[in-house]
Amino acid sequence: RKEVEQDPGPFNVPEGATVAFNCTYSNSASQSFFWYRQDCRKEPKLLMSVYSSGNEDGRFTAQLNRASQYISLLIRDSKLSDSATYLCVVNRLDGYNKLIFGAGTRLAVHP
């Protein structure tokens, strides 16, 4: 079983739609959670951190469910520019604190 699992998609949605991605992680000791965004043929960039209480950044809302060990990302009012792959990222502490990246969920927003 992968440490971080994501639905690979693609999610094809029209502009203005609301779309949600889920991610599950296997290590119950994980304490830090993030969403990174990776545009086609580009490097990953931090989109947002995920906090226990849930957090929002404009049209993006991230939530964490520790009991079920899943993280979600909600995008409201999708824009064409949101088309990208979204990487779920979780920490693993085994001597050093490392980030474990999911394989990503691809989003395609169409006119």
Partner 1 sequence: DVKVTQSSRYLVKRTGEKVFLECVQDMDHENMFWYRQDPGLGLRLIYFSYDVKMKEKGDIPEGYSVSREKKERFSLILESASTNQTSMYLCASSLFGTGTDTQYFGPGTRLTVL
Is residue 45 close enough to count as binding partner 1 by CB under 8 A? yes
Is residue 43 close enough to count as binding partner 1 by CB under 8 A? yes
Among the listed residues 10, 18, 42, 77, the single contact to partner 1 using CB under 8 A: 42
The Cα diameter of the chain in Å comes to: 48
Strands 60-65 and 55-57: antiparallel
Q: Identify whether the C-beta of residue 91 lies closer than 8 Å to the C-beta of residue 32.
A: yes
- The whole-angstrom separation of Cα 108 and Cα 34 is 21
Q: Segment contacting partner 1 (CB under 8 A): 14-22, 61-69, 76-84, 96-104? A: 96-104
Residues 48 to 87 in contact with partner 1, rule: CB under 8 A: 87
Is residue 103 close enough to count as binding partner 1 by CB under 8 A? yes
Among the listed residues 59, 66, 79, 98, the single contact to partner 1 using CB under 8 A: 98
**Residue 96: other Cβ atoms inside 10 A:** 6
